[in-house]
């Protein structure tokens, strides 16, 4: 248990570092030096030292949004096997619980944006509510895939120990589709290019960023830390799928876990560097691709996994 808690805390503390790696990669492709690799830590410290400013039109819901958003992100990490070790918490059906915890975090983020009575934040909230609907459908299709293979509804059954190695041996080809599907979900849920651009400042084209325009100081710091942890959650799952042999290589599972994370974050940085942000009417089609890939993987699995 102590080891699981230590890895969970380490994942939270390391989340800003890996997100800073994306900035470095994008700067490299742009022929620039880029910000320091620890820029996200500097930003969080600066935000937590400041005070928060609240509009007279907001209520307690506006203050709850950042807190619950961060709480949801760090809570779901507790159920995830970090580096293949047992999670902090695990029970039968926890994978469904995790999906709904993420949904609660999104709900309060949207509610906080709506509470400002800003038309721009309301526009971003509507988009935030729309696109993840497709992601949720894809996530449940992926859940059906894993349940078909393992007969379990626990994240630890999918990603702890040698579980992922077993998944590859049972359904290697369909699992490639699942990895691609989950990567699209990662880009969508974390508002990355080509779905959204976290660096843009044009309200008409923003999704997540436009919802947090009125947050400041520590509140905005909580939102940023929550977004780092949420990206870490999705990246950890993909890392476990693409690097499933931690215990068999060098005897250092954490090292291989970090290597998998580096692959995922580098892939995100490269994708953002070589891909333009899609027009808003093209985004649903791109997100729907994740559902199609997960659906095909599940159908293929039904054919040869008895």
Reported as a single tens digit per residue, the pLDDT across 191-211 is: 898 998 877 766 666 777 788
Task: Compute the distance between CA of residue 288 and CA of residue 136 in angstroms, rounded to an integer.
Answer: 11
Q: Which of 85-89, 99-103, 120-124, 275-279 has the lowest mean pLDDT?
A: 120-124
- Dump pLDDT digits (tens) for 99-150: 999 999 999 999 999 999 888 888 888 888 888 888 999 999 999 999 988 8
Question: What would the pLDDT profile of 290-299 be if each residue is shown by its tens digit?
Answer: 999 999 999 9
Characterise 186 by phi-psi region: left (phi > 0), alpha (psi -120 to 50), beta (else): alpha
pLDDT at 248 over 60: no
pLDDT at residue number 256: 85
Q: Report the distance separating Cα 185 and Cα 162, nearest Å.
A: 24
Tell me which residue of 20, 66, 73 sits closest to 42, measured CA to CA: 20
Tell me the mean pLDDT in the region 17-35. 93
pLDDT greater than 70 at residue 181: yes
Residues contacting 101, CB < 8 A, separation 6+: 72, 75, 76
Longest Cα–Cα distance in the chain: 61
Using an 8 Å Cβ cutoff, are 3 and 244 in contact? no
Separation CA 67–CA 219 (nearest Å)? 8
Which range of 24-38, 146-160, 233-247 scores highest in mean pLDDT? It is 24-38
Least confident of 117-126, 152-161, 196-205, 267-276: 196-205
Instruction: Name the band, by pLDDT with cuts 50, 70 and 90, for residue 222.
Output: very high
What pLDDT score does 1 carry? 76
3-state SS, one letter per residue, for the chain? CHHHHHHHHHHHHHHHHHHHHHHHHHHHHCCCCCCCCCHHHHHHHHHHHCCCCCCCCCCHHHHHHHHHHHHHHHHHHHCCCHHHCCCCCCCCCHHHHHHHHHHHHHHHHHHHHHHCCCHHHHHHHHHHHHHHHHHHHHHHHHHHHHHHHHCCCCHHHHHCCCHHHHHHHHHHHHHHHHHHHHHHHHHHHCCCCCCCCCCCCCHHHCCHHHHCCCCCHHHHHHHHHHHHHHHHHHHHHHHHHHCCCHHHCCCCHHHHHHHHHHHHHHHHHHHHHHCCCCCCCCHHHHHHHHHHHHHHHHHHHHHHCC
Q: Look at residue 221 in the predicted model and tell me its pLDDT.
A: 96
Residue 149 in tokens:
């293979």
Decide: 188 and 125 in contact? Cβ < 8 Å. no
- Greater confidence (206 vs 13) lies with 13
- Give Cα separations from 265 to 1, 36, 120, 232, 243 (angstroms): 28, 16, 30, 9, 14
Average pLDDT, the chain: 88
Q: CA–CA distance from 175 to each of 46, 58, 132, 148, 240 (Å)?
A: 42, 46, 22, 12, 12
Considering the chain, what percentage of its residues have pLDDT values greater than 70? 92
């Amino acid at each position: 248990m102590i080891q699981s808690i230590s890895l969970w805390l380490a994942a939270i503390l390391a989340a800003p570092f890996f997100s800073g790696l994306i900035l470095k990669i994008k700067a490299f492709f742009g022929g620039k030096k880029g910000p320091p690799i620890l820029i996200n830590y500097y930003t969080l410290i600066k935000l937590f030292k400041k005070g928060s400013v609240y509009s007279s039109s907001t209520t307690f819901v506006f203050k709850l949004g950042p807190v619950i958003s961060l709480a949801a992100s760090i809570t779901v990490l507790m159920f995830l096997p970090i580096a293949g070790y047992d999670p902090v918490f695990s029970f039968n059906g926890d994978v469904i619980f995790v999906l709904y915890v993420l949904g609660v975090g999104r709900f309060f983020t949207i509610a906080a944006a709506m509470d400002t009575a800003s038309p721009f934040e309301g526009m971003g909230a509507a988009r935030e509510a729309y696109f993840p609907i497709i992601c949720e459908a894809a996530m449940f299709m992926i859940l059906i895939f894993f349940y078909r293979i393992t007969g379990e509804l626990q994240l630890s059954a999918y990603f702890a120990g040698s579980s992922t190695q077993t998944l590859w041996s049972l359904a290697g080809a369909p699992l490639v589709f699942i990895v691609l599907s989950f990567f699209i979900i990662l880009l969508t849920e974390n508002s990355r290019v080509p779905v959204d651009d976290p660096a843009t400042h044009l309200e008409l084209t923003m999704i997540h960023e436009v919802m947090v325009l009125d947050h400041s100081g520590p509140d905005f710091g909580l939102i940023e830390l929550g977004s780092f942890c949420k990206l870490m959650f999705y990246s950890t799952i993909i890392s476990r799928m693409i690097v499933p042999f931690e215990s068999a290589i060098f005897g250092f599972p954490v090292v291989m876990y970090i290597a998998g994370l580096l692959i995922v974050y580098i892939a995100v940085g490269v994708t953002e560097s070589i891909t333009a942000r899609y027009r808003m009417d093209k985004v649903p089609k791109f997100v729907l691709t994740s559902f199609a890939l997960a659906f095909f993987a599940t159908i293929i699995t039904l054919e040869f996994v008895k």
